[in-house]
């Protein structure tokens, strides 16, 4: 309890904001900003465009295709959470295997609609080329 009582107190007797109060203060400032009507929260966000594919059928080769995507991806620019998300200079692409069907779903986002479509199409073509390879 003594350690908890010392939190937020500076040696010169100056009071610092208690650590658990800071998030509440941030939420309060956010709510104040919203209610003031000074602007939209999305005003500072740059425009982006998303594209996606329908279901891309895999058959029995889904695991092999995922392994190939993992092996060929740049590990510095790739996240492996919900599937394989590859970050590019102009946007990103997420390749997700469906949990219920033997298909992939591909999502992309970029600064322009054309670039988002190009990124998605690039991975559709890549998956189709892996699917057609004989092993």
pLDDT digits (tens, 9 = 90+) for 56-103: 787 777 788 888 888 988 889 999 888 899 999 999 999 998 888 888
Q: Same domain, yes or no, for 108 and 63?
A: yes
Q: What confidence category does residue 35 fall into, taking pLDDT thresholds of 50, 70 and 90?
A: confident
Instruction: Calculate mean pLDDT across residues 14-33.
Output: 67
Q: 66 with 127, same domain?
A: yes
Q: What is the rounded distance in angstroms from the CA atom of residue 109 to the CA atom of residue 93? A: 7
> Which two structure tokens, joined as six digits, stand for 64?
């092999």
Reduce the DSSP state of residue 76 to 3 states and report it. Answer: helix
Beta bridge partners of 108: 51, 93
Residue-range definition of the domain harbouring residue 33: 2-43
**Does the pLDDT of residue 134 top 70, yes or no?**
no
Q: Are 77 and 115 in the same domain?
A: yes
Per the structure, how many domains does the chain have? 2
Global pTM exceeds 0.75: no
Q: Are strands 103-110 and 91-97 parallel, antiparallel or unpaired?
A: antiparallel
**Residue the block writes with tokens 């599937």:** 83
pLDDT band, very low/low/confident/very high, at 116 (cuts 50, 70, 90): very high
Q: Which residue has the higher pLDDT, 28 or 20?
A: 28
Q: Residue 85's beta-bridge partner residues? A: 79, 94
């Amino acid at each position: 309890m003594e350690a908890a009582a010392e939190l937020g107190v500076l040696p010169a007797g100056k009071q610092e904001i208690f650590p658990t109060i800071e998030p509440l203060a941030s939420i309060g400032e956010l709510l104040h900003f919203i209610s003031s009507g000074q602007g939209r929260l999305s005003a500072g966000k740059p425009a982006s465009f998303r594209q996606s594919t329908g279901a891309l059928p895999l058959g029995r080769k889904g695991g092999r295709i995922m392994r190939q995507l993992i092996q060929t991806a740049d590990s510095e620019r790739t996240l492996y959470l919900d599937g394989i998300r590859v970050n590019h200079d102009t946007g990103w692409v997420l390749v997700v295997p469906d949990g219920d069907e033997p298909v992939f779903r591909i999502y992309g986002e970029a600064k322009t609609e054309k670039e988002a479509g190009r990124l998605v199409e690039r991975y559709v073509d890549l998956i189709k080329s892996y699917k057609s390879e004989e092993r």
